[in-house]
């Protein structure tokens, strides 16, 4: 069974940093592209970032490029999202997801990040 | 395109059929046959129910079906059941390095 479990969310002040983690199990992690997707309160889901399986560069939505960094540790079956210079508008539930042939296949339950003073 | 447009809510009686639309553009839904649909109960992980426009993953009820015409994809739930209540959203591959996937605004399905 595929399982994705996010952690590391919480309350942070504007301008602060937070690192989200996603623990993956139940599939051959190193062979899968991984994504982060977020949903702000009352809003729809928005794709945030993608990390390939190989050495190709990650991809970012315009709204987070330069502030967020996605990374992975294939030895630990983990994917991370380092979020710096956080803004109020980054407040959202963040989901970790895997990618199968041009679709998001499995999702985590999500983790809440609140940016507020 | 920042989001695919879905109706905010759709309702039906048990046994009826409902259809949820998902409207994008010629750069996403209209460009690729990579439209997926997900069922999402709050607090749980979203579940894939349709992929590549009309394919069902193993274990998903055949009451769920998908289709696409132009820039609009559709999800039909036949024989509506109480357990079908929840949120449904679509997703389309968008193929841009700054927008890999575009997702829908979500539809709340209510079983009357």
| Band (B77; pLDDT cuts 50, 70, 90) | very high
The token pair that represents B69 in the structure block: 């015409």
List CB contacts (< 8 A) between B45 and chain A: 4, 95, 106-110
> How far away is chain B from the Cα of A101, in angstroms, using its nearest Cα?
9
Residue B97's pLDDT is: 81
pLDDT in tens, B17-56: 999 999 999 999 999 999 999 999 988 999 999 999 999 9
What b/e readout covers A36-66, taking b as 16+ CB neighbours within 10 angstroms? bbbbeeeebbbbbbbbeeeeeebbbbeebee
Which chain B residues are within 8 Å of A105, Cβ to Cβ?
Answer: 48, 51
Q: Which of residues 87-106 of A touch B (CB under 8 A)?
A: 95, 102-106
The CA distance from B3 to B20, in Å, is 15
- Residue B98's pLDDT band, with cuts at 50, 70 and 90, is confident
A97 and A104 Cβ atoms separated by less than 8 Å: yes
| B39 CB within 8 Å of a chain A CB | no
The answer to whether residue B78 scores a pLDDT higher than 80 is: yes
Which of these, B95, B29, B22, B5, lies nearest to A50 by C-alpha position?
B95
CB pairs under 8 A between A and B: 62
pLDDT value at B1 more than 70: no
Residue A66 in contact with partner chain B when CB distance is under 8 A:
no
Say yes or no for a CB contact (<8 Å) between B44 and A59.
Answer: no
Query: How near does any CA of chain B get to the CA of A23, in Å?
Result: 14
Q: Does B51 touch chain A (CB under 8 A)?
A: yes
Burial of A91 (0-12, 13-18, 19+ CB in 10 A): middle
CA atoms within 13 A on the CB side of A13: 2
pLDDT in tens, chain A (117 residues): 999 999 999 999 999 999 999 999 999 999 999 999 999 998 999 999 999 998 889 999 999 999 999 999 999 999 999 999 999 999 999 999 999 889 999 999 999 999 999
Total Cβ atoms within 10 A of residue B111: 18
For residues B104-110, average pLDDT: 96
Question: Is the Cβ pair B51, A65 closer than 8 Å?
Answer: no
């Amino acid at each position: 069974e595929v399982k994705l479990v996010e952690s590391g969310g919480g309350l942070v002040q504007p301008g602060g940093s937070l690192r989200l983690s996603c623990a993956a199990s139940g599939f051959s992690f190193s062979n899968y592209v991984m994504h982060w997707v977020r949903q702000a309160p009352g809003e729809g889901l928005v794709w945030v970032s993608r990390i390939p399986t190989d050495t190709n560069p990650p991809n970012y939505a315009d709204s987070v490029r330069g502030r967020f960094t996605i990374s992975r540790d294939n030895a630990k079956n983990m994917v991370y999202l380092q979020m710096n210079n956080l803004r109020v508008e980054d407040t959202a539930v963040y989901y970790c997801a895997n990618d199968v042939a041009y679709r998001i296949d499995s999702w985590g339950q999500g983790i809440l990040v609140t940016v507020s003073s | 395109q920042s989001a695919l447009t879905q109706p905010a809510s759709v309702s039906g009686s048990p046994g009826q059929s409902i259809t949820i639309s998902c409207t994008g553009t010629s750069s996403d839904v209209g460009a690729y046959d990579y439209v997926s649909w997900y069922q999402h109960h709050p607090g749980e992980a979203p579940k894939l129910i349709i992929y590549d426009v009309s394919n069902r993953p193993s274990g998903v009820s055949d009451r769920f079906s998908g289709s696409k015409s132009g820039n609009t994809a559709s999800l039909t739930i036949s024989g509506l059941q109480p357990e079908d209540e929840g949120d449904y959203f679509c997703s389309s591959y968008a193929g841009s390095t700054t927008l890999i996937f575009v997702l829908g605004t979500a539809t709340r399905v209510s079983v009357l």
